[in-house]
Amino acid sequence: MWLTEQTLSRKWVFATNDEAVKVLGPNDLLLHLLGQSFSAKVGMRGTEVVFTGDEVDVERMQAICSTVTTLVRHGIQLNDGDYRYMIALAKEDDLASVVDVYTTEIGVTYKGKAIRVKTLGQRKYIDAIVKNDIVFGVGPAGTGKTYLAVAMAVMALKRGEVKRIVLTRPAVEAGEKLGFLPGDLQEKVDPYLRPLYDALHDIYGLEQVQRALERGNIEIAPLAYMRGRTLDDSFVILDEAQNATAEQMKMFLTRLGFHSKMVITGDVTQIDLPVGKQSGLVHARKVLRDVDGIAFHLFSASDVVRHHLVQKIIDAYSEAEASVGALNG
């Protein structure tokens, strides 16, 4: 390769072989992803990673290695999705605040595992929940909007900031009629509430959740059960809010009592309401966007923390829907 004035060669040196293994991941995954993502060449010599090529790419690759090394030294384990996210940020020259984001703890699970945000968008979402009494978290699947809301609720309950957690979802049929499902009403709606149970069990523990349910410190119920109530001293979460009607959304929001918070989560691309029924989440964004004390946080595909293909799937569907919209328009 002919060297030009734009060609640069730099290296990143790990303190030990063990640190190199932790930073680079299984089978040197980080090096492979860097090689796929940038035009500059990357190679390994002992505990040194050498970058050679385009100056901008070399500086970005070195910055990624520096950032990941710093996080590893903080005891944070990273995975494929984290590497890909940092590469995306580096391409936008937006890596500066990543260490602060990743090292901020929301709390710990019942197993003692730290609960941390994984993206800048998630950090802004948490900040919005801290600062506002009503927060709407809107975005695609896999962005952590429900899990983080449940985590914030559990921590608030543990600290004594609220006396109970109320979790609710609209029981909307998505391809299967409720009347055809076996069991009584509670057994019919439990499958719709299962993601809320899963998040609670992961953070709070099965036994503690069961005790809290029996004492009334945690309540999980369909949205229809919220009518006529005032929810004081509560952390209330409405999940899958895109499937609440405008009337249900108004009913729910007006349940807010003193010393309470509400978090409403949903994905406006997955509305299962019958044709002609307006989504309460879509309607609320129009009606409440300028109300002080109510925050709307919009997640993007870059906030997806599931398998990296989930982000690609979301982007592909968004492009397809935009194309159809343009044709229909």
In this predicted model, what pLDDT tens digit does every residue of 52-96 receive, in sequence order?
A: 999 999 999 999 999 999 999 999 989 888 999 999 999 988 898
The pLDDT assigned to 285 comes to 94
The pLDDT assigned to 303 comes to 86
For 7-151, list the strands marked E by DSSP.
7-13, 41-45, 48-54, 105-108, 114-116, 134-138
The pLDDT assigned to 96 comes to 86
pTM (2 d.p.) = 0.83
Rounded CA separation 217/21 (Å) = 44
Looking at residue 63, its amino acid is A
Tell me, what DSSP letter sits at residue 303? G
The pLDDT assigned to 8 comes to 83
If you count them, how many residues does the chain have? 329
Under a CB-based contact definition with an 8 Å cutoff, are residues 134 and 149 in contact? no
Rounded CA separation 108/102 (Å) = 14
The pLDDT assigned to 188 comes to 59
The pLDDT assigned to 328 comes to 54
In the predicted model, residues of the chain with pLDDT beneath 50 are: 1-5, 173-178, 327
Label residue 267 left, alpha or beta by phi (over 0 means left) and psi (-120 to 50 means alpha): beta
Tokens of 184: 């009584």
φ and ψ at 110, to 5 degrees?
-65, -15
Rounded CA separation 268/182 (Å) = 30
The pLDDT assigned to 151 comes to 95
Strand 218-222 relative to strand 134-138, pairing = unpaired
Tokens of 58: 């070399």
φ and ψ at 75, to 5 degrees?
85, 15
The pLDDT assigned to 178 comes to 46
In the chain, what are the domains?
A: 7-102 (3.30.1370.10), 105-328 (3.40.50.300)
The pLDDT assigned to 176 comes to 41
